[in-house]
Structure 1
């Protein structure tokens, strides 16, 4: 499909009908805001995906039930405490959060999705959160600056703000999509990854939005990995206000195709921002697997390379030790045939027909030396393809995570 979107300024408040706010209530030790609100001014459509981890945080358990009721139009997010592995008390704290948010905004608890990020296994200081909600509600604003504060408030070990907005041409009018995400560690494919909040002013029915979101997440958030460790709190929420000056997005229409393309691109940009900001990472790695017998096989090969500590260490040092990449593909794809397989590092052929190619090591090293590295593996077995994104593994990653709890 021809590109039907363009990037515009802002994040979650770029589409019509959304207000955001953030305040500091003292949940995390670091400076800055740690409580964020996002509100849709209409009772539009909402869809979400959540972690598939059997150890799911209290906010996820609450939000899974709430999203099915079809009334979600706002989100309360805190950083600094995951409210995970906190038992019945954790769930009571989520219920109290939703009740207090509903009270100060004149809504109902079922209108809220609740999300938390931070350390696991510590009780949420819910009193601080409840005290901060009225202040946050009083600051709700539709400005780009308010959206920026929202995106900053949900950060934990992130080093950069992760947000984006796109304008999508539907053919008969345009809609805007915005998003903010956080994440730099504990990132693995398996549902979504991390916390992500997406907004749009498109008019769209909830079942269609849910289906399009699931497909977008499968191709983007589920194709990234930093450390192959799935979080307890993963959530992707998408809210639609329906306030764009454009016809409704209908199932099976050209407008739906265009909207899905833009939604997938929005998710891809945000997902790649997560990997690019991986804890301690200095390289963003794109692994393109082509010529696979099935898409699932292509994804499996990409993930095997992305999750291998040996591959990630080679990527960190820029060492063209390409045998690690090929061997990872070999154990991930049972049908792999060395005689058909080719590996490119950047545009340089490193391996073909079961043997080293003629490229000098210096050219391969040069192809691995930049901030962004491309690995392209052609299995020669079919027409299926997939892309997986990852980063390198550094000493800094070990230091960050060795000392995270203390």
Structure 2
């Protein structure tokens, strides 16, 4: 199983460098591990990230009313001092809709990790992903934690990444490096997610680490901002999960002055942090269950940012658009339909639509275009759909995937 790559290692104009072999343990102070604890039949299913110091931390959670027990436990711990020293994650079982017993199991996971690592319980985050409504095999998990903790290592990246996957076809990881006050700062992230993915979080978990010096309050503000333009702008199938969570941990070991919005290097750090988040979000969308193509919808010329986001998410989330992409059918009427019901302010007579640079709609009416060129645009690994509303200056981008026969096959037998 390989890492899903969208960006090659390169220097960027934004002042950071992307890394071709990302590791969640690359920032100073972090180790990780992953193992098979017996939750799933054969594959790794229990993972751990540890920071050598209590890290400044931030987290965002799913908007689903049925929030899984691990989210409750993690949120409670974060409320103590907004710091985290370790994250214990299991896959194969979501520990969602499991009542008081499930909540007690999440606390037991936290306690086991705290004991094995000799850190206070509130500094341990927990997360779960998998089948909803089944109790965790908590005895297996607790029995495995000591061995998991003893195997923590800087080289534990791949084992951890494998341990959090469910129907994912590959590891999702990204890393960038930049300089703050002349000191190298690293930002890394890993994620899982393939189905039950929709804006306002998805069936996804994402974990970010950095050695930047930043206090919890600005880190939390940054994570919330970036989530709205990355993880909350993806969809696979329109379902928002019970277990979604994104966390960020900052060890502070890079040694520069604390980052705030007033720091001269804040803009560069923000863009680097956002880049990692966008890359992970796009990897999740590209790896949608049964997907063959990544779909990128960019809406420009909107009167408000929210309107641009509404329109982009409506198009990328439309089942009719998604099936048209799968069939490489330039059926632009489906795109206009989605824009029309999105709620974005627009004049139908002013809308332009492009498929990979081929203008198919101009002024709200069909343009004269090369059908073959439009089809070829829809056959690319990344399908680019552009919508210009010609109403204002705001823009937004959303990501999704095509909808295939395999999506039905995978989800029809998910539990069996």
TM-score range, shorter chain: over 0.9
Matches within 5 A, 1:48-87: 48-70=59-81, 71-87=83-99
Structure-1 separation of matches of 2:53 and 2:344: 51
* Residue of structure 1 aligned with 2:273, choices 263, 275, 288: 263
> 1:309, CA displacement in angstroms?
1.0
Structure-1 separation of matches of 2:13 and 2:372: 38
> 1:49, CA displacement in angstroms?
0.5
Residue number in structure 2 paired with 1:157: 167
> 1:192, CA displacement in angstroms?
6.2
Residue number in structure 1 paired with 2:34: 22
Q: Residue 43 of structure 1 aligns to a residue in which SS?
A: strand
Tell me if 1:219 matches 2:229.
Answer: yes
- Spell out, residue by residue over 1:102-122, the C-alpha distance to the aligned partner (whole angstroms, 9 max, x if none): 111111211110000000010
Residue number in structure 2 paired with 1:183: 193
- Spell out, residue by residue over 1:353-389, the C-alpha distance to the aligned partner (whole angstroms, 9 max, x if none): 2321111211211111111100000000000000000
* Residue of structure 1 aligned with 2:401, choices 391, 400, 405: 391
Tell me if 1:292 matches 2:289.
Answer: no
Structure-2 separation of matches of 1:172 and 1:254: 12
- Spell out, residue by residue over 1:311-361, the C-alpha distance to the aligned partner (whole angstroms, 9 max, x if none): 111011111111100111111135321221100001110001232111121
Moved over 4 A (4+): none
Q: Residue 348 of structure 2 aligns to a residue in which SS?
A: coil
> 1:171, CA displacement in angstroms?
4.3
Residue number in structure 1 paired with 2:18: 7
Residue number in structure 1 paired with 2:258: 248
* Residue of structure 1 aligned with 2:139, choices 127, 130, 136: 127
Residue number in structure 2 paired with 1:350: 360
> 1:405, CA displacement in angstroms?
1.8
8 Å contact 1:174–1:245 — kept in the other structure? no
> 1:248, CA displacement in angstroms?
2.6
Tell me if 1:172 matches 2:182.
Answer: yes
Structure-1 separation of matches of 2:333 and 2:54: 54
Tell me if 1:311 matches 2:333.
Answer: no
Structure 1: runs of 5 or more not aligned: none
What is the TM-score when the length of structure 1 is the normalising length? Answer: 0.97
Structure-2 separation of matches of 1:10 and 1:320: 37
Tell me if 1:276 matches 2:292.
Answer: no
8 Å contact 1:10–1:148 — kept in the other structure? no
What is the TM-score when the length of structure 2 is the normalising length? Answer: 0.94
8 Å contact 1:173–1:247 — kept in the other structure? no
- Spell out, residue by residue over 1:39-74, the C-alpha distance to the aligned partner (whole angstroms, 9 max, x if none): 010112011111111100000111111112124211
Q: Residue 254 of structure 1 aligns to a residue in which SS?
A: coil
- Spell out, residue by residue over 1:185-239, the C-alpha distance to the aligned partner (whole angstroms, 9 max, x if none): 0101114651011000011111011111111111100000001111100010111
> 1:10, CA displacement in angstroms?
2.6
Structure-2 separation of matches of 1:10 and 1:360: 41
> 1:4, CA displacement in angstroms?
1.5
> 1:272, CA displacement in angstroms?
0.5
* Residue of structure 1 aligned with 2:245, choices 215, 229, 235: 235
Structure-1 separation of matches of 2:344 and 2:115: 57
8 Å contact 1:174–1:246 — kept in the other structure? no
Residue number in structure 2 paired with 1:341: 351
> 1:257, CA displacement in angstroms?
1.8
8 Å contact 1:224–1:275 — kept in the other structure? yes
- Spell out, residue by residue over 1:132-182, the C-alpha distance to the aligned partner (whole angstroms, 9 max, x if none): 101101100112xx1111111100000011011110222432200111100
Structure-2 separation of matches of 1:260 and 1:312: 32
